[in-house]
Amino acid sequence: MKPEWDLLHTPGPTPIPPSVERAMNQPMIGHRGQKCKDLIQSVTPRLKPVFKTEGDVLILTGSGTSALESAVVNTTNPGDDVIVVVAGSFGDRFAKICETYELNVHRIDIEWGKAVAVDQVEQVLREQPQTKAVFLTHSETSTGVMHPIEKIAERVNQVSDALVLVDGVSSVGGAVLDMDRFGIDLLVTGSQKAMMLPPGLAFVAMSERAWERIQETSRPRFYLDLRAYQKRVGDGQTPFTPALSLLFGLDEVLNLIEEEGGIDRVAERHQLMQQMTRKACRALQLPLLVSDEDASTTVTSIRPETFEAEQLRKLAREEFGLVLAGGQNHMKGEIFRIGHMGYSRPANVLQYISILEILLKRLGHDFEPGAGSAAAQEAYLEGTREDQA
């Protein structure tokens, strides 16, 4: 039977909950009418707990990169010194955007698969005391590393006045990311990952300090000018036509997050899926690219030694409609990545681990049959013990 849908376990786009699909499938409304105002005024305050901020969360129409670009163009002037942590292709993207906008970029290049150390950031800040902003990626989707954002932000704020700007594209909605408490000035994400929506929306949350900088920045900007979005957000408006169907879906996504018990419960589910996946991989003798300490809660990278990563992905797609991601740049063919975020549950982990076991048999990989599923089950029971007590 030809399946109608994929078992999509890439780290974005991710599957959409059926209730969100239904919500998006509504008749169109006028974007300057009362219905649209009501919708924006309903979703905007409910985004704040997702970002854990008291500040405004602005909604842009564009992919995640539009939010990264908006972070750069709104907070910097040409020639400003900035630091960018580059530990994979999305850190590299932030650096390229900064270079495009003629910033004096001090890159901190980290081996792919490793997280940056807080001291490394401090050292570069001390060498470049004129630094205006530090650009960080929380979950580096290309490797499955989650940088210690809380500690980095704390240190940056201790030793400098630089703004802390964070790409949370594959972490907001799938990890604990307490923007105000961590001292993050600007936190951005896209809709198609842990936010359980199709691609097309971008979100920008900003602190008071970021907002002051945005107002002072003299660089010309138009579509991505956050001042224009901020000016209209209180009236339930956006400066340009919003992606209305996605806003219908967002309303339902927020219902689902609230029904689950809020963003902390959602983050716990992601943590549980991470644990199940990692323990299963270990039991299956699959080498993990990233250490436990640095591992992302939303994506897990495996670097196989006894078979070709691309061969496994091909079999998974053809035989089971299970879509996994490959490596990027120099890691192409070297790793495969499993996304476990958004509309993804422990039941899905049990499913893909079981499928992996069949494929590993086909590929002649040596492991004890059933060991992965048993380890995932054990991790599930361990992770939910308190819930049941």
Ligand X SMILES: Cc1ncc(COP(=O)(O)O)c(C=O)c1O
Q: Kindly list the residues in this chain that would bind ligand X in the complex (CB under 6 A).
A: 12, 63-65, 68, 90, 137, 141, 167, 169-170, 190, 199
- Other beta carbons within 10 Å of 139: 31
Q: Which one, 190 or 346, has the nearer CB to ligand X?
A: 190
For residue 68, the minimal CB distance to ligand X (Å) is: 6
For residue 65, the minimal CB distance to ligand X (Å) is: 3
Closest residue to bound ligand X by CB: 64
Q: Which one, 275 or 298, has the nearer CB to ligand X?
A: 298
Q: Which one, 171 or 207, has the nearer CB to ligand X?
A: 171
Q: Which one, 50 or 284, has the nearer CB to ligand X?
A: 50
For residue 167, the minimal CB distance to ligand X (Å) is: 5
How far is the CA of 96 from the CAs of 53, 68, 301, in angstroms?
28, 11, 24
For residue 73, the minimal CB distance to ligand X (Å) is: 15
- Other beta carbons within 10 Å of 127: 10
Give dist(CA 113, CA 352) in Å, integer: 23
Give dist(CA 180, CA 177) in Å, integer: 9
| Peptide linkage before 199 cis (omega within 30 of 0) | no
For residue 202, the minimal CB distance to ligand X (Å) is: 7
Place of tokens 């419960």: 265
Adjacent-strand bridge partners of 188: 167, 204
Q: Which one, 199 or 321, has the nearer CB to ligand X?
A: 199
For residue 139, the minimal CB distance to ligand X (Å) is: 6
Q: Which one, 302 or 341, has the nearer CB to ligand X?
A: 341
Q: Which one, 89 or 160, has the nearer CB to ligand X?
A: 89
Instruction: Compute the Cα dihedral for 85, 86, 87, 92 and give only its sign.
Output: positive
The strand ranges marked E within the chain are 7-8, 57-61, 81-86, 104-109, 133-137, 139-140, 145-146, 163-167, 186-190, 201-206, 299-302, 322-323, 325-326, 336-339
Give dist(CA 355, CA 304) in Å, integer: 16
Biggest distance spanned by C-alpha atoms of the chain: 62
For residue 190, the minimal CB distance to ligand X (Å) is: 4
